[in-house]
Chain A
């Protein structure tokens, strides 16, 4: 059973995109304007020792799990999200939780295409 983490983060304008100390700084890109590239996910790591809630899905604009907003699971995730938001605002990420960067573009309601590089 794969772990079910994750917090969706959007890097603030003009700020370092990664709240994790020592993380890779975002590069300056020449992406087309329609490509939104400042998106990050916390990932689970096999490294142990972190004490943050493991199940988080979505903050701010990315919190859109259709149909289950009122479910217990969603409430748990929102609580966990708040916990991790505190980490982010303090500038210190959850220990041993790597960030996954992704870019996105297009209609949020459109058919999803997910590109996986080699």
Chain B
């Protein structure tokens, strides 16, 4: 989405702990901790921000709004639900329970593809697995 944004906005895209180029500490993968990590972005001088959350990110954004309401200008949710305990997430949890780390790449791609509006292109660097 970022390339499509007007440069008049100052956009930040974070990798939550355990994702992307962020580190993978052994603990604290909770909505509360994720929200605290987002609040850490205060350090870059953001007075107020519009939070745009996708899927799990929507629950994190809500929690940030709870703990730092004055720092949140607006909330925008993509692919969210009223509660994280719904039929879809419970089914996903059930499906993931028997899986071990590293997760099969096929599972990861299928899971992510299911959450996107447009088809996902095949990866140019295919591996057999990825870490959770």
A interface residue numbers (CB < 8 A to B): 2-8, 17-18, 20, 23-24, 26-27, 32, 34-35, 37, 39, 41, 43-47, 56-58, 62, 64-66, 96, 98-118
User: In the bound complex, do residue B45 and residue A105 qualify as a contact, i.e. CB atoms below 8 Å apart?
Assistant: no
Tell me what chain A mostly uses at the interface: helix, strand, loop, or mixed: loop
Closest to B68 in A: A2
On chain A, the residues within 8 Å of B39 by CB distance are 2
Closest partner residue, chain A, to B32 (CB atom): A2
With A47-B25, A100-B37, A105-B11 known as contacts, the answer to whether A114 contacts B46 (CB < 8 A) is yes
Judging by beta carbons under 8 Å apart, are B22 and A99 in contact?
A: yes
Counted as pairs of residues, one from A and one from B, with CB atoms less than 8 Å apart, the total is 194
Give Cα A93–Cα B21 distance, bound, in whole angstroms: 16
Scan B41-84; emit 1 where CB is below 8 A from any A CB, else 0: 11111111111111111101100000100000100000100000
Q: A2-B67, A5-B40, A101-B22 are in contact. Are A115 and B14 (CB under 8 A)?
A: yes
Q: Which residues of B contact A100 (CB under 8 A)?
A: 14-17, 22-23, 37, 40
> A114 near B12 (CB under 8 angstroms)?
yes
Nearest chain B residue, comparing its CB with the CB of A56: B43
> Chain B residues with Cβ under 8 A from A43's Cβ?
17, 37, 40
Residue of A nearest to B40 (CB): A6
Question: Given contacts A35-B3, A41-B43, are A110 and B49 in contact (CB under 8 A)?
Answer: no
**6 closest A-B pairs (Cβ-Cβ)?**
A118-B55, A116-B57, A101-B21, A112-B49, A98-B23, A102-B14
Question: Can you list 14 pairs linking A and B with CB atoms under 8 Å apart?
Answer: A2-B36, A2-B39, A8-B44, A46-B33, A57-B42, A64-B45, A96-B25, A100-B17, A104-B10, A106-B6, A107-B7, A112-B47, A115-B52, A117-B54
Cβ of B8 to closest chain A Cβ, rounded Å: 5
Docked Cα-Cα span, A54 to B67, in Å, equals: 19
User: Pick the contact of A116 from B1, B6, B43, B52 — CB < 8 Å?
Assistant: B52
A111-B10, A115-B54 given. 16 additional CB < 8 A pairs? Answer: A18-B23, A26-B21, A27-B20, A32-B3, A41-B41, A41-B43, A46-B28, A66-B47, A98-B23, A101-B14, A105-B7, A107-B8, A112-B46, A115-B1, A115-B13, A115-B14
